[in-house]
Structure 1
Amino acid sequence: MLKQVKQMVSREYAKDLRAQLGSVPRTIDWTRLSPEDLEHELLELNQFVDWLRHTYGLPPQIIPPMWHRHWEMIWELSALRQQWLTCYDQQAKGNMGVVFHAEFAAARERLRDWVTISGSRLDRDRATRITPWPGGEAEGFTPTDSTEYPVENRNEDFVSFVEDQVLERQRAQDAEVQEIVNSEWSERP
């Protein structure tokens, strides 16, 4: 009987520990997310960025309203979010807040660089310019349209961006599935 009680307590402890630990934050590879995961992660990142800019009073020279239109900023802010989740996890060591703030200081400098490169501002935005290399671009390369647009309604634009990205990812996923189906079908006797 004592052995059964110990086993039951051990199982309950393990279950409670898993619930407390939760999932470990991992680096997000934006190129490999399913459409559903892409939508979820963009929405989560948007909440984090909004919290971050309000909590730390960050100016648009560090995080402009249209950050979501620039993948270089999405990657940087996503890495910062994952760092925050890791450092402020309930199982993190006591010094991890200092580690986060050291990383945050470095990330702010990189974000300033990304904002400068992208050309995104508080009141206007344009696609990040990609300088074509003479004789070094893939066939079909099209330079980005660097026309500036006024920032009018950031929230509406964010929702539209997420919808477009999810739809584009869904189309790519559907095309991959169709290619697999076609190749399997053509290999049949």
Structure 2
Amino acid sequence: MPAENDIDDLDAFADLWDDDEQQVRPVNWDALDADELHDAWMQLDRWVTWLRSTYGLPATVVPPLWHRHPELQWELSALHIHWQSAYDPGGHGSAPHGWHRDLVDAIARLRDWTAASGSRLDRDRPTRQTPWPGEPPPPVRPDLPIHDRAADFADHLAAQVNARRALSDTAFATDTQELS
């Protein structure tokens, strides 16, 4: 049974269904422009906070710095889209039951990926990569303490958006040069 908390008001997510023409669609994080990326990250972070609070998910399932691990980002994003579809006012009445069944599967995957990543409640490190034969070994990075999750998310969000904006600016400059 979901735990009571201050984020349990589903009205906070009402903006997801303001537009009757809007359909819930999967998010391809690699294809978003900088503004879309910002909005998607903010919406996902808000929803993950609601999810972990409502269902009492421990840091072994959703660690504080989940946003720094692409495998967790993609899984949580897929789960979020599934939740939006399941709770769409125009959806089928049994869809929430299917979502809860799939949540159990997702929790198992999240637990496995969190364990493999090495992210914990109080410290984090980038997910370790195994080099294939002929590839150089990746740098070994130490675990870093987590002091302020919200500040880390804000820093990560700014870096992601700035990198996407720079990538977009580079693509625009290249396109402009080709037209000259």
Query: Which position in structure 1 is the counterpart of 2:13?
Result: none
Change (3 A) 1:144 1:73: farther
Distance of 1:73 and 1:167 partners within structure 2: 21
Distance of 2:62 and 2:130 partners within structure 1: 23
1:158 to 153, 159, 164: 153
Deviations 1:52-85 (A, max 9, x none): 0010000000000000010110000000000000
2:176 to 174, 177, 181: 181
Query: Which position in structure 1 is the counterpart of 2:132?
Result: 133
Query: Which position in structure 2 is the counterpart of 1:170?
Result: 165
Kindly indicate whether the alpha-carbon contact (under 8 Å) linking 1:127 and 1:144 is maintained by their aligned counterparts in 2: no
Query: Which position in structure 2 is the counterpart of 1:75?
Result: 74
Query: Which position in structure 2 is the counterpart of 1:25?
Result: 24
Change (3 A) 1:51 1:19: closer
Query: Is 1:109 aligned to residue 104 of structure 2?
Result: no
Amino acid at match of 1:146: R
TM-score normalised by L of structure 1: 0.83
- Poorly superposed stretches of 4+, deviation over 6 Å: none
Q: How many Å apart are 1:182 and its aligned residue?
A: 1.3
Distance of 1:144 and 1:179 partners within structure 2: 32
Q: How many Å apart are 1:101 and its aligned residue?
A: 0.3
Kindly indicate whether the alpha-carbon contact (under 8 Å) linking 1:73 and 1:111 is maintained by their aligned counterparts in 2: yes
Percent sequence identity is: 39
Deviations 1:128-162 (A, max 9, x none): 11111122x4xxx7725421100100000000000
Change (3 A) 1:144 1:66: farther
Deviations 1:73-127 (A, max 9, x none): 0000000000000000001111011110011111000101110111100000000
TM-score normalised by L of structure 2: 0.87
Equivalent position SS for 1:104: helix
Query: Which position in structure 2 is the counterpart of 1:148?
Result: 143
Q: How many Å apart are 1:19 and its aligned residue?
A: 6.4
Change (3 A) 1:33 1:109: same
Q: Which runs of 5+ in 2 are unaligned?
A: 1-16
Kindly indicate whether the alpha-carbon contact (under 8 Å) linking 1:128 and 1:144 is maintained by their aligned counterparts in 2: no
Distance of 1:51 and 1:66 partners within structure 2: 15
Change (3 A) 1:42 1:20: closer
Q: Which runs of 5+ in 1 are unaligned?
A: 1-17
Amino acid at match of 2:93: G
